């Protein structure tokens, strides 16, 4: 058995050889080196581990930042159009759900918008643009969002991507648009108001001039009985004056600033006049057919308001039919029953005047039909409509105690129905509701109003109460009667605005005959009584038109009781 020459066994030698240190490794210095080497290895392993941990922490931080960012962030592979990364804000912006994964623009948006965005990001990757402001993006569900987008190229594992940040500006943009829209509407309504003031001023002066011409022409007509040519000319002047007066009435109603005088009017007659005006303004391709079934058409109304209703409804219809087609106007007397009242609680039972305006236009979509009466609601293009037409109609109808309804089918047409209380019925139903059994009875009342129909209404109220009436449409005749029968008259009710002698003057003359007879003055608008120097000393009470039967009964009872008390004292 061979012995190792330097005392090292073959086994040790072999191990040293395998470890590559050979005999020299036995020297102590190599051993130290080895130890250092091992330590270094250990240190660098720990450092690697440390930096791995740091990288892991950084990665987690990055992921947290990425997903918690309020801006949408995506990394897009421009070749395939696929998203490599997409954060939560971006997914939220485009309604990402796990069952509807957001893989590319084309999976989330209509194709045109997807293409536009991909093109924009390409330009950002190439450095051509860096930022896009307020980009409008349609979503698949029809919603629109606005975003500010910035982007730049990034390289990941030797592949080119674009990193883009989307800031959702929808709320701010909508606010901005609403503000602009609101400002435009205010602008428009201020413009309307200015036009109305101007038109109203001009129309007022014109009415006086026209009234003068018309009056003189009418007087002259009597004086030239035998001259047929001259009579024809004068008649033409009168007809032209009437047309001019109608136009000024329309001008006044632009802003509905006309003094609202409620008086008994013929609804059918106003419709006829309004249709003449409409035919002059609408193209011949729009036909307006009127069928009058309503025999009873007397309503207590403001003339200008009613004609505005007809004009606005027909104008809307003409627009809905693109100015070609038939508008049908139908009037009838409708009986409001329980069934109708259940649907329209504002209606009162009984006979009404019903106006129907139908067209063969585009119809009104179900989702907007509830909004059409809102002020400023319009589907017309910007600047083409104020959206006030129907809201004005609604206001007028309501002021008259009426109801408006609409029925429409898309592509077929629309019908508006307006129920108006009839003059006499309105009076009767109020008597039924408000008439107080303690109201005065058996009095003799002198009733004066130049409007025949109002005289009838007054008589009816008073006789329903159990009183007697002597009535006149002419104040001079009324005064003459009073002068001869002063002792039997208990009270006088007179209109304010009457030709030849107004209500105040009549009251004064009546008191010159008999001091303590009470005089109730009725007025259609307060302005005429607000003038300086209006002396109300001869007036016991003022009552505004249109008054209800209950109101009249109450006032009459109060004044007669006061006189009784005075006489007793």
Ligand X SMILES: Nc1ncnc2c1ncn2[C@@H]1O[C@H](COP(=O)(O)OP(=O)(O)OP(=O)(O)O)[C@@H](O)[C@H]1O
> Applying CB under 6 A, which residues contact ligand X?
316-317, 320, 359, 361-364, 372, 377-380, 385-391, 414
Cβ nearer to ligand X, comparing 23 with 409: 409
Which of ligand X, Mg ion, none does 356 bind, CB closer than 5 to 8 A by kind? none
Of the two residues 44 and 281, which places its CB atom closer to ligand X in the complex?
Answer: 281
Distance CA 319, CA 360 (A): 11
Distance CA 231, CA 525 (A): 37
**Pick 125 or 199: Cβ nearer ligand X:** 199
Q: Give the residue with the Cβ less far from ligand X, 155 or 367.
A: 367
State the alpha helices, DSSP H only, in 224-302. Answer: 228-253, 267-281
Determine contact, residues 357/326, Cβ cutoff 8 Å: no
Report the alpha-carbon distance of residue 161 to residue 163 in Å, rounded: 7
**What is each CA distance from 501 to 89, 91, 449, in whole angstroms?**
80, 81, 11
* Minimum CB distance to ligand X, residue 253 (Å): 13
β-pair partners for 544? 523
CA 300/CA 453 separation, integer angstroms: 10
Q: Does position 305 bind Mg ion by CB under 5 A?
A: no
According to CB under 5 A, which residues from 113 to 142 bind Mg ion? Answer: none
Return the number of the residue (35 or 285) whose C-beta is nearest ligand X.
285
Closest distance of CB 118 from ligand X, Å: 38
Piece in contact with Mg ion (CB under 5 A), picked from 14-22, 308-316, 447-455, 465-473 = 308-316
Run of H or E including 168: strand 159-168
Three-state secondary-structure class, residue 535: coil
Minimum distance, C-beta of residue 315 to Mg ion, in the bound complex (Å): 6
Distance in Å, CB of 507 to Mg ion, minimum: 45
Min dist. Cβ of residue 246 to ligand X (A): 20
Burial tier of 118 (Cβ tally within 10 Å: 0-12, 13-18, 19+): middle
Least distance CB 550 / ligand X (angstroms): 35
DSSP state for residue 289 in the 8-state scheme? E
Residue (394 or 456) nearer to Mg ion, CB: 394
Nearest in space to 105 (alpha carbons), one of 83, 124, 126: 83
Residue 362 touches which of ligand X, Mg ion, none (CB < 5 to 8 A by kind)? ligand X
- What 3-state DSSP class applies to 407? strand
DSSP 320-363: HTTT-EEEEEEEEEEEE-HHHHHH-TT--SEEEEEEEEEE-S--
**Among Mg ion, ligand X, none, what does residue 196 contact (CB within 5–8 Å per kind)?**
none
Structure tokens at 531: 């003038």
Question: How far apart are CB 249 and Mg ion at their closest, in Å?
Answer: 19
The single residue among 87, 316, 408, 414 that binds Mg ion, judged by CB under 5 A, is: 316
Tokens (6 digits) for 393: 């109609």
CB of 320 or CB of 465, closer to Mg ion? 320
Stretch that binds Mg ion, among 249-257, 316-324, 431-439, 473-481 (CB under 5 A): 316-324
Segment contacting Mg ion by CB under 5 A, of 58-66, 260-268, 332-340, 389-397: 389-397
Q: How many residues in the shown chain lie near Mg ion by CB under 5 A?
A: 2
Q: Which C-beta is closer to ligand X: that of 192 or that of 237? A: 192
Q: Which is nearer to ligand X, 327 or 479 (CB)?
A: 327
- Closer to ligand X by CB, 233 or 360: give it: 360
Nearest approach, Cβ of 438 to ligand X (angstroms)? 47
Q: Which stretch binds Mg ion (CB under 5 A): 203-211, 386-394, 492-500, 522-530?
A: 386-394
Binding partner selected for residue 168 from ligand X, Mg ion, none, CB under the kind-specific 5 to 8 Å limit: none
Smaller CB distance to ligand X: residue 350 or 385? 385
User: Element (H or E) spanning 480, and its range?
Assistant: helix 475-485
Provide the sign of the torsion angle of the four alpha carbons 257, 262, 263, 266, taken in this order.
Answer: positive
Least Å distance, CB 380 to ligand X, is: 4
**CB nearer Mg ion, residue 316 or residue 523:** 316
Adjacent-strand bridge partners of 165:
73, 150
Closest C-alpha among 245, 320, 255 to residue 277: 245
Could you say which of ligand X, Mg ion, none residue 81 binds, taking C-beta under 5 to 8 angstroms by partner kind?
Answer: none
Angle at 347 between CA 341 and CA 348, to 5 degrees: 95
Which listed option, ligand X, Mg ion, none, makes contact with residue 364 (CB within 5 to 8 Å by class)?
Answer: ligand X
Distance between CA atoms of residues 52 and 40, nearest Å: 18
Q: Closest distance between ligand X and the C-beta of residue 495, in Å?
A: 35
Helix axes 303-320, 267-281, angle to 10 degrees: 40
**What's the CA gap between 552 and 548, in Å, rounded?**
6
Which residue lies nearer to ligand X by CB, 195 or 224?
195
3-state SS, residue 36: helix
Planar angle of CA 147, 152, 153, nearest 5 degrees: 140
Rounded least distance, CB 375 to ligand X, Å: 8
Say if CB 311 and CB 408 are below 8 A apart.
no
Alpha-carbon 458 to chain mean position:
39
- Residue 388: which of ligand X, Mg ion, none does it interact with, CB under 5 to 8 A by kind? ligand X
Binding-site partner at residue 320 among Mg ion, ligand X, none, CB < 5 to 8 Å by type: ligand X
Out of 72, 389, 401, 503, the only residue in the binding site for Mg ion (CB under 5 A) is 389
Among ligand X, Mg ion, none, residue 377 binds (CB under 5-8 Å by kind): ligand X
What does 395 bind: ligand X, Mg ion, none (CB cut-off 5 to 8 Å by kind)?
none
d(CA 561, CA 540): 12
Least separation in angstroms between CB 76 and ligand X: 42
**DSSP-assigned letters across all residues of 110-146:** -HHHHHHHHHHHHHHHTTS--EEEEEEEE-TTS-EEE
Smallest distance from Mg ion to CB 393, Å: 9
Task: Give the interface with Mg ion as residue ranges (CB under 5 A).
Answer: 316, 389
């Amino acid at each position: 058995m061979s012995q190792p020459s330097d005392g090292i066994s073959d086994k040790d030698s072999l191990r040293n050889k395998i470890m590559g240190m050979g005999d020299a490794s036995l020297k102590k210095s190599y051993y130290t080196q080895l130890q250092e080497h091992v330590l270094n290895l250990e240190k660098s392993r720990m450092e690697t581990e440390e930096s791995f941990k740091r990288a892991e922490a950084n990665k987690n931080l990055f992921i947290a930042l990425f997903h918690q960012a309020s801006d949408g962030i995506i990394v897009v592979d421009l070749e395939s159009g696929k998203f490599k990364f997409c954060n939560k804000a971006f997914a939220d912006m485009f309604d990402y759900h796990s069952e509807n994964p957001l893989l590319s623009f084309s999976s989330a948006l209509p194709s045109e918008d997807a293409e536009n965005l991909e093109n924009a990001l390409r330009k950002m990757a190439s450095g051509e643009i860096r930022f896009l402001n307020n980009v409008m993006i349609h979503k698949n569900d029809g919603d629109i969002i606005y975003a500010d987008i910035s982007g730049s190229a990034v390289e990941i594992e030797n592949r080119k991507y674009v990193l883009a940040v989307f800031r959702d500006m929808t709320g701010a943009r909508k606010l901005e648009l609403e503000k602009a829209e609101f400002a435009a509407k205010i602008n428009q309504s201020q413009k309307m108001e200015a036009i109305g003031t101007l038109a109203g001023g001009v129309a007022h002066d014109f009415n006086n001039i026209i009234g003068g011409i018309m009056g003189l022409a009418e007087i002259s007509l009597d004086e030239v009985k035998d001259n047929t040519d001259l009579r024809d000319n004068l008649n033409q002047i009168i007809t032209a004056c009437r047309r001019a007066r109608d136009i000024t009435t329309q001008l006044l109603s632009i802003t509905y600033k006309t003094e609202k005088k409620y008086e008994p009017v013929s609804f059918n007659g106003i419709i006829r006049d309004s249709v003449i005006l409409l035919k002059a303004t609408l193209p011949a391709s729009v036909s307006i057919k009127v069928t009058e079934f309503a025999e009873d058409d007397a309503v207590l109304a403001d003339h200008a308001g009613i004609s505005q209703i007809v004009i606005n409804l027909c104008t809307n219809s003409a627009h809905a039919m693109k100015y070609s087609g038939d508008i049908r106007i139908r009037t009838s007397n409708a009986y409001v029953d329980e069934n109708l009242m259940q649907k329209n609680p504002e209606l009162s039972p009984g006979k009404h005047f019903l106006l129907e305006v139908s067209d063969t236009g585009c119809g009104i979509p179900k989702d907007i039909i509830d909004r059409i009466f809102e002020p400023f609601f319009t589907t017309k293009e910007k600047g083409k409509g104020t959206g006030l037409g129907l809201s004005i109609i609604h206001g007028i109808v309501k002021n008259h105690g009426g109801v408006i309804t609409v029925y429409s089918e898309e592509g077929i047409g629309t019908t508006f129905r307006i129920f108006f209380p009839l003059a006499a019925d309105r009076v009767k139903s109020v008597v039924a509701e408000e008439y107080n059994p303690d109201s005065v009875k058996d009095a003799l009342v002198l009733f004066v109003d130049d409007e025949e129909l109002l005289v009838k209404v007054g008589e009816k109220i008073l006789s329903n109460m159990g009183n007697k009436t002597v009535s006149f449409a002419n104040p001079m005749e009324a005064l003459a009667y009073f002068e001869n029968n002063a002792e039997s008259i208990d009270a006088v009710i007179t209109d304010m605005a009457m030709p030849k002698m107004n209500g105040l003057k009549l009251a004064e003359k009546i008191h010159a005959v008999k001091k303590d007879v009470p005089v109730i003055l009725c007025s259609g608008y307060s302005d005429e009584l607000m003038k300086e120097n209006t002396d109300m000393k001869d007036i016991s009470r003022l009552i505004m038109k249109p008054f209800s039967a209950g109101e009249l009964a109450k006032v009459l009872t109060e004044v007669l009781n006061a006189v009784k008390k005075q006489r007793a004292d």
